Amino acid sequence: MLLQRYNMEEKFEPKIAAFVCNWCTYTGADLAGTSRLKQQPNARLIRVPCTGRIDPVFIIKAFESGADGVLVSGCHPGDCHYNAGNFHARRRWIMFRELLEFAGIDSSRLHFSWVSASEGKKWVDVIDGVTETVRKKGPFDQYRKMSRKIELPELEEEGVEI
């Protein structure tokens, strides 16, 4: 029914999970909003204290929960509220994106950016760019197919809800 109402099969709107740091990117996105800058409405912002707080398991969890793309964004190097959080994060990302690339989640679904609190315009560019890239890439059905629960036909026949 939902499909019919929104005619989703014809028009695909990507879901973007955006992990943003409290001190820079979240404030930057806020600035974009208060400045009435027009931006794509596809991102769901998840505010974390610092990019150093972002465990790679968050990113996996976002894909599991149905995200078509993930954006991770924080303060520019040297601007971190906690001095070195984003440096630690950057080194982690270098490793993690190579791992996901090797496992088959390519870099057009996983994006990184530095957006400071004053860069409302940059935030709009980033979010528009990411949304466009993921929209071109299409829905992440391949991952969602994995998300199906275990198939137990015998139980289904008996009417047991799995």
Partner 1 sequence: MNGLNEVCREAISGNKAALIIGYTEDKHHHLKPFIAHTEADTDKLTYNHNAVNNLAVYLHRFRNRTEGRIGIVVKPCDLKAITALIQENRVKRDDLYVIGVNCSGVVKDQNKEFSKENTQIKCKTCAGKTPAWYDVVVEESVEFELPEDNNALLMKQIEEMSAEERLEFWNSEFEKCIKCYACREVCPMCYCDQCIVDKTEPRWIESSATNRANFAWNMIRAFHQAGRCIGCGECDRVCPADIPLSLLNRKMGMVAFKEFGYRHGTDMNAPTLIGTFSTSDHEEFIR
Question: Which residues of the chain form contacts with partner 1 (CB under 8 A)?
Answer: 55-57, 60-61, 64, 77-78, 84, 87-88, 90-107, 111-114, 126, 129, 142-143, 146-150
- In terms of CB distance, is 23 or 52 closer to partner 1? 52
- In terms of CB distance, is 6 or 101 closer to partner 1? 101
Reduced to 3 states (helix: H, G, I; strand: E, B; else coil), residue 159 is: coil
- Give me the least distance between CB of 86 and partner 1, in Å please: 9
Cβ within 8 Å of residue 130, ≥6 positions away: 16, 43, 69, 71, 111
- Give me the least distance between CB of 87 and partner 1, in Å please: 4
- Give me the least distance between CB of 64 and partner 1, in Å please: 6
Question: Which candidate, 21, 17, 18, 16, places its Cα nearest to that of 89?
Answer: 21
Which residue shows structure tokens 């820079």?
Answer: 24
Both structure tokens of 43: 């991102």
